[in-house]
Structure 1
């Protein structure tokens, strides 16, 4: 038997609407969000109604907001990049790895702008076993991305090419900074701690092999002053702070970022790790020792 209502020639068959009548009424009364901000408000309502947990809501909101972010928003600016000179001796390379605890390093030749490759810290073990091996043979290709690169696209590329670090270039082709896959993921899941992060309950000041110290941002100012034998006071006598992290953030004048440094009371404080807008860890050294090393 033929179809009593044949489809119009050339017209694609209509999809069957599987929504129930009640679902259609509910969507008419409470339409879906029309904007990103409305979607974020919907997530907040879902959390209030215990449809999703607080952690899930925060992560989903970060994913949504990440769509508007670019490489420039999360990169480590060029002046704060830890770079390796291709002509540096092996001992200096090892000191850099121990000093910074990074797993990957951009390598330059001549000027810092002339980045010729990426060196994996683990590859230095090959140099230790074979001192005659040329460092250039260990370099991996450099990936360059523009400042305007969206984080969604950047994360997709990181996953696709198995690369975890890219050099960020400004509109004039100059090096603006670097961005890692960890920087991007932290925009979704928050600060990622690594094997070098020490639980706060385990202590607050640790001596390192290069005669610098790792100091928790929650350490009391009096404790830091006593440990280094100095008097620590801020530039504003009217302000009072209990922890060294609070004082340093006030002196810097904005939310500290990884790699920023400040000299105070004859000490140099370098921000190593931040979380929730607060400094978790500083690297601290005496200014005179820093000058001598430079």
Structure 2
């Protein structure tokens, strides 16, 4: 090949420059432009660009950890109990609630802020530990509405230099928590660290085919209804609730002994298979009329 022959990459760059010669005038045109850019850019790059553009259209409630799944602390919890909880759950931040009001978050505890106390423990300076209260260690919380846009949340986290916000509903009640990691996952996809249980915590595996039962799927209760609809071709209503567990709770109308409870919605039989306390963890979804089943996995 002659040195004067253009390389494939240079052809792509020339095509990209011509393609971008007309600037998009609306957000929809920009999104369409990004989607068409797969002929020039790596798929992962296009996915990230789409994630960034989707932030203004994504509400905080869609990416937050809802209240039933939040692991929090109370200001009356002893520091020894706090350390046990941290060792068990391995989170880096915890909301701390007022002992008299479960809707009142007094602050955020960073696990690293306990390191000086651990040093005192090693030095047997127990008097310094006992004089400390949990409320003395928490940091001022950032509050955000569950209906706020995700790009607004991003700017707030950047401005206040914090990585976790407390989400409140329209009445000011505690609705959940949202983190910088939640925002990043909207852009780059699931981030699995060394403490994550990939099979249980990752959204990648929250809907799996049942290994033994036909036309049946195992679904985590925390699965967003829209994701379930996309994956299974179902049409579950997400007007009032966001997750599959919330849909089951809403339909049942009670919070008693839920394990083994079963409901039918459209052509789906939904059975509660795993419960801890009042929280539903796992569900079993069976298509009762396979002949009407839509093509699975086509989205």
Per the normalisation by structure 2, the TM-score is: 0.59
The answer to whether the 8 Å contact 2:222/2:245 transfers is no
Call closer, same or farther: CA 1:112–1:247 in 2, change over 3 Å: same
Aligned pairs, number: 214
Distance 2:138 2:221 in 1: 40
**Preserved CA contact (<8 Å) 1:167 1:178:** yes
Q: How far did 1:70 drift?
A: 2.3
Determine the C-alpha separation between the residues in 2 that align with 1:136 and 1:57.
45
Q: In the aligned structure 2, how far is the partner of 1:252 from the partner of 1:57?
A: 25
Partner of residue 61, structure 1: 50
> 1:188–1:138: structure 2 CA closer, same or farther, 3 Å change rule?
same
TM-fit CA distance, 1:175: 1.4
Rounded Cα–Cα distance in structure 2 between residues aligned with 1:266 and 1:135: 33
2:135 aligned partner = 136
Cα distance in 2 for residues equivalent to 1:259 and 1:162? 33
Match of 2:250 in 1: none
1:112 and 2:85 matched: no
Equivalent pair of 2:113/2:137 in contact (CA under 8 Å)? yes
Question: For residues 115 and 60 of structure 2, what CA distance do their matches in structure 1 show?
Answer: 32
Residue in 2 aligned with 1:239?
A: 215
CA distance, structure 2, for counterparts of residue 173 and residue 251 of structure 1: 23
Aligned partners of 1:259 and 1:270 also within 8 Å: no
Deviations 1:159-182 (A, max 9, x none): 222111111122211112111111
Q: Tell me the SS of whatever aligns to 1:67.
A: helix
Q: Secondary structure at the match of 2:47?
A: helix
| Distance change in 2, residues 1:185/1:138 (3 Å) | same
- Which position in structure 2 is the counterpart of 1:73? 62
> What's the TM-score, normalizing by structure 1?
0.59
1:60 deviates by 0.6
What residue ranges of structure 2 are gaps of 5+ in the alignment? 1-17, 121-127, 229-241, 247-257, 260-271, 283-299
Cα shift at 1:124: 2.5
The structural deviation recorded for 1:217 is 5.2
Give the superposition deviation at 1:31. Answer: 4.4
Q: What RMSD in Å do the two structures reach over aligned CA positions?
A: 4.1
Counterparts in 2 of 1:126 and 1:260: CA distance versus 1, 3 Å: farther
Aligned counterparts of 1:251 and 1:173: Cα–Cα separation in 2: 23
User: 2:176, 2:222 → 1: CA distance?
Assistant: 24
1:184 paired residue number: 183
**Which of 38, 41, 50 does residue 29 from structure 2 map onto?**
38
